[in-house]
Amino acid sequence: MARTVWDSTVGKKTVMAVSGLIMLLYLVVHMIGNLKIFFGAGEFDHYAHWLRTVGEPFMHYEWTLWLVRVVLVAAVVAHAVSAYQLSRRDIRARPSKYVHKKPRASYATRTMRWGGIILGLFIVWHILDLTTGTVHPGFRPGHPYQNVVDTFSTWYGNVIYIVAMLALGLHVRHGFWSAAQTLGVGSRRRDRALKTVADVLALLLTAGFIAVPVGVMTGVVS
Ligand code: HEM
């Protein structure tokens, strides 16, 4: 039964929609949390510490954080695998000989594919930059405020994050809309409202995330 659902196109699209919505929820929380940087190092670093102790004493140190990490990794893998398989299926379904060599994938589909690849690469860079510090000269564990200020004091840090946040906005805008259609929320009456929700969500998410590098670049956060 589960096998049949997974093998179907609708099944894979449902996996994409559900995993996408899980990541979206995480991103909304992450973006709001990041805005605490505007309240100073004390508050931001205290918040980062709380992320590790949340649920205590029932949960041990970092257990809740690891639970969230496991769910997120599962969502990323499910999303990427189904996206890859759906696009293979789409390519295979093309008629073999073109009269015109025009790609069949629409503008939106191509943007989603490239956007997904950019975001996948960004997540790897971002974790190496601000979680493990592998690519971050002078990284100080337990001092995320200073680490974030350092990241956005380099030109490449600003370029990488801002480009990724713009890709994120486009991806969420179309992805949210597609997920609603897959999950059967769309209808002639609701489509306009859904498009507005997708636009507003994408805009708030992008603006909220970009506020941090802009804050550092303008000296509001230092
Ligand atoms: C300007 C934008 C962003 C800033 C300033 C930022 C900042 C941070 C910081 C400081 C951490 C480390 C937190 C800690 O260790 O306590 C972190 C972790 C993380 N961020 Fe972001 N983030 C941004 C955008 C994003 C985006 C767009 C995504 C996803 C596409 C994302 C996904 C993650 C993930 C998965 C982690 C790792 C959590 C963990 O396992 O510890 N972030 N971010």
Q: Where are the domains of the chain?
A: 2-94+106-217
d(CA 195, CA 5): 28
Min mean pLDDT across 7-16, 102-111, 128-137, 141-150 is at: 102-111
pLDDT > 90? residue 20: yes
Atom of ligand 1 nearest to the CA of 213: 1
pLDDT band at 102 (very low <50, low <70, confident <90, very high): low
Atom of ligand 1 nearest to the CA of 47: 16
Band of the pLDDT at 92, cuts 50, 70, 90? confident
When pLDDT is averaged across residues 182-197 and rounded to a whole number, the result is 93
Residue nearest to atom 11 of ligand 1 (CA): 130
Residue 88, classified by CB atoms within 10 Å of its CB into exposed (0-12), middle (13-18) or buried (19+), is exposed
Categorize the per-residue pLDDT at 216 as very low, low, confident or very high, splitting at 50, 70 and 90: very high
Q: Tell me, using a 6 A CB cutoff, whether residue 116 lines ligand 1.
A: no
User: Which of 142, 197, 167, 222 lies closest to 21 in space, CA to CA?
Assistant: 197
Provide CATH code, domain 2-94+106-217: 1.20.1300
User: Tens digit of pLDDT for each residue in 140-163?
Assistant: 999 999 999 999 999 999 999 999
Residue 3 has pLDDT above 90, yes or no: no
Ligand 1 centroid – CA 94 distance (Å) = 39
> Is 174 close to ligand 1, i.e. is its CB under 6 Å away?
no
Q: Look at residue 100 and tell me whether its pLDDT is greater than 70.
A: no
Using CA atoms of 171, 175, 176, 178 in order, give the dihedral in degrees to the nearest 10. 150
Query: For the chain, how far is it from start to end, CA to CA, in angstroms?
Result: 55
Handedness of CA 105, 106, 109, 112 (dihedral sign): positive
Tell me the pTM. Answer: 0.94
Residues 192, 196, 202, 205: what is their CA dihedral angle, to the nearest 10 degrees?
-150
Q: What is the whole-number distance in angstroms between the Cα of residue 159 and the centre of ligand 1?
A: 16
58-69 per-position pLDDT tens digit: 999 999 999 999
